[in-house]
Amino acid sequence: MRFGEALRKPGLAAIAEVKRRSPSAGELRPDADAGELARAFERVGAAAVSILVDGRFGGSTDDLRAARATTELPLLAKGFFSTPAHLEEMRDAGADAVLLLLRDLDDQNVMELMQTARAFGLDALVEAHDSEELQRAVSLGADPIGINARDLSTFHIDRRAQLELVAAAPEENVVVAESGIVSRAQGAAAELAGADAILVGSTLMRAADPAEKLVELVSRPLVKVCGLTREEDVAVAAEAGADLAGFILADESPRRAEDVLPVPETMLSVAVHVGEYEDRGADLVQLYERENGHRGRDAVLLRGDEPVARVLDLPWEEQDPGHLDRAREAEGRIMLAGRLGPDNVRAAIDAVRPWAVDAASRLEVEPGIKDHDKVRAYVEAAR
């Protein structure tokens, strides 16, 4: 399977990177065995493997050959390529795709190298890190396009700028969010912005078990703890491993928060509104319609003004025996809600296979005050 094709599958694909060292972070995994890691990444479901072949990263073309000997996954050769001879060398060493950095190449160079790559049967991942480079990539007909959160001159990571660039890329392009992803929530943020895949290197190389870490970063469902009103409850939810922190801002709710509280980088914040909403600085908005003075049954999850998921909930203060059946039949990203707790969330996940699960009232001592043991038990059961 070709590199670009492997990234077009439904859901968020993962490109696992073999990188022994980083100019910004120093030594990461000096003894990394590219062949063993590629085999492990294939076993846990990576869509492709990226191999650093540049000596500044502790890599070489021998690593590409070692990976090729152990995996059938598409291999991306990452280096600073500027001539057809470089691409020919990568092809001969087993690459399926090569990285082309717009920072280092003018448009004529890029066009020539893209044509050479096609002639060699290689895909070209053309990398941009600002809006000007993204426009260049689109104008040149690049596909797939990589959006790097790290400025390669300063090594500074700007995830917010990266997400806006991902969102600005044409929908028909395969888009890869690169660099700086250390948590499942950050991968989900890239997914919701429109990324088809994430490329993760340093985070995997620092992990005790890189393959296990890859599974953690792309596993679903995401876990949301909602109805948070206190910083200490946010901290417990984060420590337990929740991905989404929900803050209900509707006036009529007994769990109403005064505002969206700060969350760590391992979480995304979700502002929950009924009827209408204003920007309160949250990463996402969960918006219910208002019906008969209460929230409606279902909600839409918004990134900015863009719907990115559906929230399927129970009717207001009612049970619905067909709730899970309805959710199971729904298409697209589904966040499952409705009186979930430690005792029933796993059964609900097994029945529906949702993109995310959402719990609030059954994790409380009283409205808006979380029972920390129940929060921990809920997250553990959902995992």
According to DSSP, residue 150 is labeled B
DSSP letter string, 225-263: E----SHHHHHHHHHHT-SEEEEE--TT-TTB-SSPPP-
Map residue 334 onto helix, strand or coil: strand
Q: Is the pTM of this model over 0.85?
A: yes
What whole-number distance in Å separates Cα of residue 124 and Cα of residue 143?
Answer: 7
Residue predicted with more confidence, 284 or 29: 284
Map residue 32 onto helix, strand or coil: coil
Q: Write the pLDDT tens digit of every residue in 264-308.
A: 999 999 999 999 888 999 999 999 998 877 788 999 999 999 999
Mean pLDDT of the chain: 94
Q: What is the pLDDT of residue 58?
A: 86
Domain ranges of the chain: 3-218, 222-382
Q: What is the pLDDT of residue 305?
A: 92
Distances (CA, A) of 125 to 36, 70, 343, 350: 24, 23, 45, 37
The CATH number fitting domain 222-382, selected from 3.40.50.300, 3.40.980.10, 3.20.20.70, 3.40.50.2000: 3.20.20.70
pLDDT classification of 203: cutoffs 50, 70, 90: very high
Least confident residue range of 45-49, 54-58, 166-170, 225-229: 54-58
Write out the catalytic residue numbers. 17, 19, 78, 127, 148, 178-179
Nearest to 310 by CA among 319, 320, 300: 300
> At 234, which amino acid appears?
V
Taking phi over 0 as left and psi of -120 to 50 as alpha, with beta for the rest, 293 belongs to: left
Nearest to 358 by CA among 309, 313, 319, 324: 313
Domains 3-218 and 222-382 share a fold: yes
What whole-number distance in Å separates Cα of residue 299 and Cα of residue 294?
Answer: 13
Cβ atoms of 99 and 76 within 8 Å: the answer is yes
What whole-number distance in Å separates Cα of residue 341 and Cα of residue 358?
Answer: 9
Q: Cα–Cα–Cα angle for 219, 249, 381, nearest 5°?
A: 30
Looking at the domain covering 3-218, what would its CATH class be? Answer: alpha beta
